[in-house]
Amino acid sequence: MSADMRSFFGRPIIIGGGVAGLMTALHLAPEPVLLLSRTLLGADASSTWAQGGLAAGLGDDDNPALHLADTLAAGDGLCDKDVASRILQAAPKAIAGLSRFGIPFDRTPQGSLCLGLEAAHSRRRIVHAQGDGTGREIMRALIAAVRSTPSIVVVEGVEARRLAVRQNAIRGVWASCSIGPVFFGSQRVVLATGGIGGLFFDTTNPSGSCGQGLALAARAGAFLADLEFIQFHPTALDGPERPMALVSEAVRGEGAALIDETGQAFLQGIPRAELAPRDVLARAVWNHLASGHRVFLDARQRPGREFARHFPTIASACRGAGIDPARDLIPIRPAQHYHMGGVDVDGAGRTSVKGLWACGEVASTGLHGANRLASNSLTEAVVCARWVAESVAGTPARRTRPAFAGEYPSPDPAPVRPFLSRALGIVRDGEALKAVARSLLPLAESEDAASDPAAVGLMIAIAALQRQESRGAHYREDFPHRAAIARRSEITLEAALAAARELGHSPTLEVVM
């Protein structure tokens, strides 16, 4: 431990450099903070890849109450209405506040914000920057702001491996960097580590996003909520590339249609068709593929020749696959995209462990319910980062003593991916969930590099097994109906391990690699 590191002791530590982490650090300024990032800032953040934008009830025909109604409808009875209302009320002002960072939001010739349409929104309310480059543009501006804020010390190339906890209170972070293990003492830690896409073969997330924040929180004893709700995006570009390129919902918002190889518009009968909620559409595409069809997005008429101007990022991904969306059909299939579940937090982002906050995708605020409404997540991150920062700033800083660094391997999700891809996809059933929990148990209990990803997968499998209904993104073939009463779920690692042990030892899940 160098003297330099010791001088940082006591500062709030933010783990993760996506929109949630950067905004929390910026809101905390001028209080000195430490921001830990595994890579060069922004290089492995899903925020950078976000094509959809920020949803807010900003239009002349819109307001936060209408936005709330759409959010609750998409969330399929599981949203926390009070939390959702508070976040969506705060959204227009939070987006206006982003302007100070110089983000080039798309505007009309008259200077007002262009508002896009995405699935399950009843109004045009999505704010974009550079078309489908929203995440990249926001990150570019926020990273510049962070780098020029003297109170924020960014430590890149450092991976948080464990939280130090005594009597259910945070004492610091054990991390790993190129010179070996290192301990950062602090009684205030914010998790902003993103999602879990790296636990699946088919994902639109960076493959390094494999639930590290969930593992850190769970091993610290925190409660996690609604883990079984995983969102699959209906339209990822179907090809050999992994992670998969996203074909934004905004393309359907501009009129593109879903058809199969026979030219049939197979969504007939589904209310709102291409603009149905994401869970409904992902299942429809999945079922059509499962019955032997191929599925395509037809953007040849609309947006047609405007495609590349509106969607330069997607056009470039399509070009890489030899597809011109103005002339060719775009082959698509569903892919893991977002995690509605996460570390259970209150309205200020506080977890059940004292001194531990969570913000962004790693957190479960209750906004998204069983199925997130498109573009509500960047909005949530931007709004909640302020509340988290206020709560952190209002918690007294105390110095903590240095501790010996623990040695924990870098998480390797590869052995876990086949299990989650097979049993925790769009369609689930109890026997496969039990088998996957049995298979993951020994790995989760081991000291192996796959132990943390396996622990996360195990908690998700147990939460999915315990939810004996179908709701939102969680579809059980053996329980195809919604329960009469909607209940959010809560789990700890200890409870998940105990539940998996009770399942006994066989059979385990056979997976084809």
Residues 6+ apart with CB under 8 A from 473: 229, 230, 231, 232, 278, 279, 282, 340, 370, 371, 426
Q: Does 248 bind ligand SIN (CB under 6 A)?
A: yes
Strands of the 330-339 sheet, one edge to the other:
230-237, 330-339, 295-298, 257-260
- Residue 46 interacting with ligand SIN (CB under 6 A): no
Does position 249 interact with ligand SIN (CB under 6 A)? The reply is yes
Q: Closest by alpha carbon to 86, among 489, 338, 366, 359?
A: 366
228 binds ligand SIN, rule: CB under 6 A:
no
- Choice between 14 and 54, CB closer to ligand SIN: 54
Among 47, 313, 375, 451, binds ligand SIN (CB under 6 A): 375
Using CB under 6 A, which of the segments 370-378, 407-415, 440-448, 464-472 binds ligand SIN? 370-378
Between 62 and 118, name the residue whose CB sits nearer to ligand SIN. Answer: 118
Looking at the Cβ atoms of 313 and 451, the one nearer to ligand SIN is 313
Buried b (16+ CB within 10 A) or exposed e, 222-237: bbbbbbbbbbbbbbbb
- Active site residue: 140, 162, 188, 278, which one? 278
- Under the binding rule (CB under 6 A), the answer on residue 250 touching ligand SIN is yes
106 binds ligand SIN (CB under 6 A): no
Point out which span in 24-32, 162-170, 371-379, 395-403 binds ligand SIN (CB under 6 A).
371-379
74 touching ligand SIN, by CB under 6 A: no
Could you write out the DSSP letters of every residue in 222-252?
--EE-TT-EEEEEEEE-SS-SSPPB--HHHH
- For ligand SIN, the binding residue among 84, 115, 175, 374 (CB under 6 A) is 374
Q: Which residues contact 198 (CB under 8 A, 6 or more apart)?
A: 205, 206, 207, 208, 209, 210, 211, 413, 417, 453
Binding-site member from 51, 193, 400, 470 for ligand SIN (CB under 6 A): 51
HSE-CB at 155 with a 13 A cutoff on CA atoms is: 20
What residues does 336 pair with on adjacent strands? 203, 232
Segment near ligand SIN (CB under 6 A), from 244-252, 288-296, 318-326, 472-480?
A: 244-252
The SS3 assignment for 316 reads helix
Q: How many residues bind ligand SIN (CB under 6 A)?
A: 10
User: Shortest gap between Cβ of 161 and ligand SIN (angstroms)?
Assistant: 29
Closest CA to 423 of 411, 440, 410: 440
Stretch of 80-88, 140-148, 243-251, 486-494 contacting ligand SIN, by CB under 6 A:
243-251
Cα–Cα dist 15/17, whole Å: 7
231 closest CA partner among 119, 122, 137 = 119
Site for ligand SIN in 316-355 (CB under 6 A): 337-338
Other Cβ atoms closer than 10 A to 363: 30
Query: Closest separation between CB of residue 120 and ligand SIN, Å?
Result: 11
What type of residue is 370?
A: A
176 is a site residue for ligand SIN (CB under 6 A): no
Annotated active-site residue 501? The verdict is no
Q: Measured from the CB atom, is 125 or 438 closer to ligand SIN?
A: 125
From the CB of 434, what's the least distance to ligand SIN, in Å? 31
Stretch that binds ligand SIN, among 147-155, 167-175, 373-381, 415-423 (CB under 6 A): 373-381
Give residue 432's region: left, alpha or beta (phi > 0; psi -120 to 50). Answer: alpha
d(CA 358, CA 348): 9
> 358 and 398 in contact (C-beta within 8 Å)?
no
Contacting positions for ligand SIN (CB under 6 A): 51-52, 248-250, 337-338, 374-375, 377
Point out the residues that are catalytic: 278
